[in-house]
């Protein structure tokens, strides 16, 4: 292949058809693909009408007259908190919405009725502070139920929310709050993380010195930490809601009214405020949540172990599950506190049936060892999911063999902050899965792998992932920057959405996501995905985790530099280093053999668990290191740099 696509190197031939017993009772069925292929707008309109209670049912489906500013169901009216709460109360108010587990061991069980009461009281509290429909509200909290309550209260009164992940710094709060000119900031005194308190209010205090738009700061008392409260500006959550009524009329929102802004990083330093609106977003969230997770609301206990500060938590902890009247688990802390079996103990305690996490977490579980899941009865599980990055086949197999029951279906779900909901994923009762493949676009989603010219790449080839038809939960723009919206997503391949990911298809038409395009190396004119080399490394029995980057090389353009974390039992040696290089050559071919391999106890990661390849590239190229403040484990960078002989 020339430079038109991405080399397709790693071959994976294991397949797992859905178990018959699962398929016979599955929520998602094969005929949905046919229905959506025939008329995708009609398909989504049917989902919108069946899954959502509208104050005014939409007559319009998709309006593409002002592309790429698409609208869906734009003459419809609804309220999202009404859909998540009120409509379930008549004969389902006593059902548990969340089993919440605090990191220190405290727990709360919250029914739909209790959640509704709290949301109404807090919504009235917001109104009492002068928050009106259209005002932006920034939320910077830990994983407490009040975070969900705050989001739903905003949705109830029509104030768009913007959740800022609790791991971000004061500076990140300033950027995000100022970009949207938020009028209110909601926070906690602190958040529990591995037994210590993260000082959330203190970070807000520092941020609020430079956020002129913020009039008030509401503080939820989670940890009892001592915080300073500024008179007239700061107000305690419990004081605000103390006298409020449990009834607050839901605002009738237009389907295209802004529901939330969520910031995500792009290729420049300025984060992008991704905008999601009301009717289309909820349609996507509810439909994908029900179909991909095979949701049986009467019997399932569902757990998405993400943080609500990311889009995964928005769609699959809050809006999708509540719209579908789900009982969920929500956990405040880290998976290794107080010990590395914390998640398995929660699954056992609540009888979790559906579990959704990220490959980076799965690789950590592998590294810690099977003895931790083995200490617990995980037999309640019937479906596993992953999201966030390509999953190495070895991690996929480990997940299925050690966490799920025999032949447990795994849904590898590809999507993005921008897409609002899952786009490419198996339907667990229909699709034959393959370890490492997100398989195929969901019904109503249309994807195409193209080359640099935008021409379709035939099956079996690699290239760039595009989405060729609009979908209801798509982003509507970048807040305050329509031009960047157009140039980032719509200009590269006119008429199609460019996701920024590389992908390949196999002969069956299944998609294999190769990671962000800037994670693609160019070795002697061959584009090679970092992910494929990583997968090859991780398939070696001594390797727990690997990150691969393209280092500048005079001869080959780029050379492959690998950073490898070994499993507990293995020891570093020059022999092992050679063995790993040969292993990659054996798995993929000599072209993919890493030029250098550095052993490291850990890899630099963002707080959302993504490996910071940019930093590893800096280390490999002996460049001054960029910003490390958003890392979860900044100390590891210096250690790696020292080992590689760099700065």
The contact set with ligand PRX (CB under 6 A) reads 264, 311-312, 387-390, 412-417, 438, 499-501, 513, 515-516
Nearer of residues 244 and 417 to ligand PRX, judged by Cβ: 417
Least distance from ligand PRX to the Cβ atom of residue 631, Å? 16
Least distance from ligand PRX to the Cβ atom of residue 413, Å? 5
Least distance from ligand PRX to the Cβ atom of residue 136, Å? 21
Nearer of residues 210 and 416 to ligand PRX, judged by Cβ: 416
Task: Tell which residue, 58, 237, 48, 268, has the closest CA to residue 153.
Answer: 237
Task: Tell which residue, 185, 223, 189, has the closest CA to residue 207.
Answer: 185
CB neighbour class for 326 (10 Å; exposed up to 12, middle 13-18, buried from 19): buried
Nearer of residues 100 and 464 to ligand PRX, judged by Cβ: 464
Query: 279 with 47: CB under 8 angstroms?
Result: no
CB neighbour class for 369 (10 Å; exposed up to 12, middle 13-18, buried from 19): middle
Least distance from ligand PRX to the Cβ atom of residue 502, Å? 9
In whole angstroms, give the CA distance from residue 121 to residue 248: 7
In whole angstroms, give the CA distance from residue 75 to residue 58: 5
DSSP 590: G
Least distance from ligand PRX to the Cβ atom of residue 299, Å? 26
Nearer of residues 172 and 417 to ligand PRX, judged by Cβ: 417
Handedness of CA 64, 70, 74, 80 (dihedral sign): positive
The two structure tokens encoding residue 3: 């430079």
CB neighbour class for 633 (10 Å; exposed up to 12, middle 13-18, buried from 19): middle
Nearer of residues 417 and 431 to ligand PRX, judged by Cβ: 417
Query: 89 with 104: CB under 8 angstroms?
Result: no
Query: 597 with 580: CB under 8 angstroms?
Result: yes
Question: What residues does 9 pair with on adjacent strands?
Answer: none
Least distance from ligand PRX to the Cβ atom of residue 199, Å? 25
In what side-by-side order are the strands of the sheet with 301-304?
107-111, 96-101, 327-331, 301-304, 354-357, 383-387, 410-413
Least distance from ligand PRX to the Cβ atom of residue 48, Å? 22
- Give the CA radius of gyration of the chain: 24
Nearer of residues 292 and 311 to ligand PRX, judged by Cβ: 311
Nearer of residues 135 and 412 to ligand PRX, judged by Cβ: 412
Nearer of residues 190 and 515 to ligand PRX, judged by Cβ: 515
**SS3 per residue for 207-265:** HHCCCCCCCEEEEECCCCCCCCCCCCCEEEHHHHHHCCCCCCCCCCEECCCEEEEEEEC
Nearer of residues 178 and 416 to ligand PRX, judged by Cβ: 416
Least distance from ligand PRX to the Cβ atom of residue 547, Å? 14
Query: 259 with 160: CB under 8 angstroms?
Result: yes
Query: 515 with 529: CB under 8 angstroms?
Result: yes
Nearer of residues 165 and 237 to ligand PRX, judged by Cβ: 165
Nearer of residues 204 and 538 to ligand PRX, judged by Cβ: 538
Query: 567 with 544: CB under 8 angstroms?
Result: yes
Place of tokens 């298809």: 505
Q: What angle do CA 593, 597, 603 make, to 5 degrees?
A: 120
Least distance from ligand PRX to the Cβ atom of residue 315, Å? 8
DSSP states of 527-552 as a string?
EEEHHHHHHHHHTSTTEEEEEEEEEE
How far is CA 143 from its chain centroid? 15
Nearer of residues 304 and 560 to ligand PRX, judged by Cβ: 304
Query: 84 with 322: CB under 8 angstroms?
Result: yes
Query: 420 with 286: CB under 8 angstroms?
Result: no
Least distance from ligand PRX to the Cβ atom of residue 68, Å? 18
Nearer of residues 82 and 414 to ligand PRX, judged by Cβ: 414
Least distance from ligand PRX to the Cβ atom of residue 465, Å? 8
Least distance from ligand PRX to the Cβ atom of residue 101, Å? 22
Q: Provide the 10 A C-beta neighbour count for residue 555.
A: 7
User: Is residue 527 within a helix (H) or strand (E), and if so which, with residue range?
Assistant: strand 526-529
Nearer of residues 515 and 550 to ligand PRX, judged by Cβ: 515
In whole angstroms, give the CA distance from residue 607 to residue 165: 9
Least distance from ligand PRX to the Cβ atom of residue 292, Å? 11
Least distance from ligand PRX to the Cβ atom of residue 426, Å? 11
């Amino acid at each position: 292949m020339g430079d038109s696509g991405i080399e397709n190197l790693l071959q994976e031939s294991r397949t797992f058809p859905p178990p018959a017993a699962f398929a016979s009772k599955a929520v998602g069925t094969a005929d949905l693909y046919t229905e959506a292929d025939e008329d995708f707008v009609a398909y989504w309109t049917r989902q919108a009408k069946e899954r959502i209670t509208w104050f005014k049912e939409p007559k319009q489906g998709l309006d593409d007259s002002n592309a790429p500013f698409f609208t869906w169901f734009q003459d419809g009216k609804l309220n999202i908190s009404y859909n998540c709460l009120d409509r379930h109360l008549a004969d389902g108010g006593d059902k548990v919405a969340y089993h919440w587990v605090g990191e220190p061991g405290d727990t709360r069980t919250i029914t739909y009725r209790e959640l509704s009461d709290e949301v109404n009281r807090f919504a009235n509290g917001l109104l009492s502070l002068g928050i009106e429909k259209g005002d932006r509200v920034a939320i910077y909290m830990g994983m407490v139920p009040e975070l969900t309550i705050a989001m739903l209260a905003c949705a109830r009164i029509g104030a768009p929310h913007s959740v800022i992940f609790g791991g971000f710094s004061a500076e990140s709060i300033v950027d995000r709050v100022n970009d949207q000119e938020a009028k209110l900031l909601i926070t906690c005194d602190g958040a529990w993380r591995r037994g210590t308190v993260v000082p959330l209010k203190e970070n807000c205090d520092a941020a609020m010195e430079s956020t002129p738009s913020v009039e008030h700061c509401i503080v939820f008392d989670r940890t009892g930490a001592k915080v300073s409260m500024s008179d007239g500006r700061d107000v305690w959550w419990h004081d605000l809601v103390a006298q409020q009524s449990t009834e607050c009329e839901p605002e009738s929102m237009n389907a295209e009214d802004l529901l939330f802004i969520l910031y995500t990083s792009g290729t420049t330093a300025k984060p992008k405020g991704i905008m999601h609106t009301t009717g289309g977003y909820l349609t996507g969230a509810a439909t994908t949540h029900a179909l991909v997770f095979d949701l049986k609301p009467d019997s399932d206990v569902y757990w998405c172990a993400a943080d609500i500060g990311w889009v995964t938590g928005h769609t699959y902890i809050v809006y999708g599950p509540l719209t579908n009247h789900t009982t969920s688990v929500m956990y405040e802390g880290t998976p290794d506190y107080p010990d590395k079996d914390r998640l398995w103990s929660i699954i056992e305690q609540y009888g979790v049936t559906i579990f959704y996490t990220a490959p980076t977490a799965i690789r950590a579980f592998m590294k810690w060892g099977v003895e931790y899941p083995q200490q617990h009865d995980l037999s309640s599980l019937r479906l596993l999911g992953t999201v966030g990055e390509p999953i190495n086949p070895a991690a996929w197999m480990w997940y299925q063999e050690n966490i799920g029951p025999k032949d447990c279906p795994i849904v590898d779900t590809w999507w993005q902050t921008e897409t609002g909901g899952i786009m490419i994923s198996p339907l667990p009762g229909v699709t034959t899965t393959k370890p490492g493949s997100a398989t195929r676009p969901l019904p109503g989603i249309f994807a195409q792998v193209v080359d640099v010219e935008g021409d379709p790449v035939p099956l079996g080839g690699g290239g760039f992932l595009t989405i060729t038809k609009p979908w209801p939960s798509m982003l509507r723009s970048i807040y305050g920057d329509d031009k960047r919206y157009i140039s980032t997503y719509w200009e590269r391949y006119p008429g199609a959405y460019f996701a920024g990911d590389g992908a390949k298809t196999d002969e069956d038409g299944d998609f294999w996501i190769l990671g962000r395009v800037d994670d693609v190396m160019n070795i002697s004119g061959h584009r090679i995905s970092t992910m494929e080399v990583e997968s090859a490394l991780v398939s070696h029995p001594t390797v727990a985790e690997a990150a691969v980057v393209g280092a500048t090389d005079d001869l080959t353009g780029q050379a492959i530099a690998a950073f490898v974390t070994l499993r507990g039992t293995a020891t570093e040696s020059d022999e092992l280093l050679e063995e790993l290089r040969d292993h990659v050559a054996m798995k993929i071919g000599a072209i993919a053999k890493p030029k250098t391999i550095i052993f490291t106890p850990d890899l630099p990661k963002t707080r959302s668990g993504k490996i910071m390849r940019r930093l590893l590239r800096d280390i490999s190229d002996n460049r001054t290191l960029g910003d490390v403040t958003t890392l979860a484990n900044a100390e590891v960078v210096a250690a790696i740099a020292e080992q590689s002989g760099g700065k």
